[in-house]
Amino acid sequence: MDTLEDNKPAEPGERPWIVLTTTYDVEAWIDNYNRELQLHVDAKKQPNGHGICFGLEHGGEIYLHTTQDGDILLDVTPDAQWVAPLITAATQVAPPPAQIWSLPGDRMTQLILGLSPLIATTRIVISHDYRIRKAWR
């Protein structure tokens, strides 16, 4: 008999990060990331909770999700709070009172360029609770 865990899709493995230094590098990475995410996630069945996880060189993780409107949700884990000043500097968005950041979609390139030297690994995330309001079933 299949359990719920047996039916859960496997998340792709962690990959080493290659530092991106130009806007062209970032745009190419975003395009590649979008294509890879589409291979692993059925957005019709799961419109929320998928994205990418950045493992930081000096500890902690940042989970990134883009909304249907193109805005960015970041879940900055407690071990990664040290990077908050850099996120603010790169995106010109003040830190939130909690660990979930909401950023305009047009800040993605600046965010990735700012974080790039600090990222050690990335991995596609199939399901993550970004504290998105769940629909009642």
Query: What pLDDT digit, counting tens, does each position of 84-95 carry?
Result: 999 999 999 999
Q: Write the DSSP assignment of 10-29 as a string of letters.
A: PPPPPEE-----SHHHHHHH
Alpha carbon distance 22, 99 (integer Å): 28
pLDDT value of residue 109: 94
Confidence at residue 38, expressed as pLDDT on a 0 to 100 scale? 76
Query: Can you list the residues of the chain whose pLDDT is less than 50?
Result: 1-8, 132-137
Residue 129: predicted pLDDT: 67
Beta bridge partners of 53: 63, 123
- The enclosing H or E element of 59 equals none
The whole model's pTM is what? Answer: 0.81
- In this predicted structure, what is the pLDDT of residue 3? 46
The pLDDT assigned to 51 comes to 82
pLDDT, position 27: 94
pLDDT of residue 10: 59
Measured N-to-C along each axis, helices 108-115 and 23-40 cross at an angle, to the nearest 10 degrees, of 100
Question: What residues form DSSP beta bridges with 88?
Answer: none
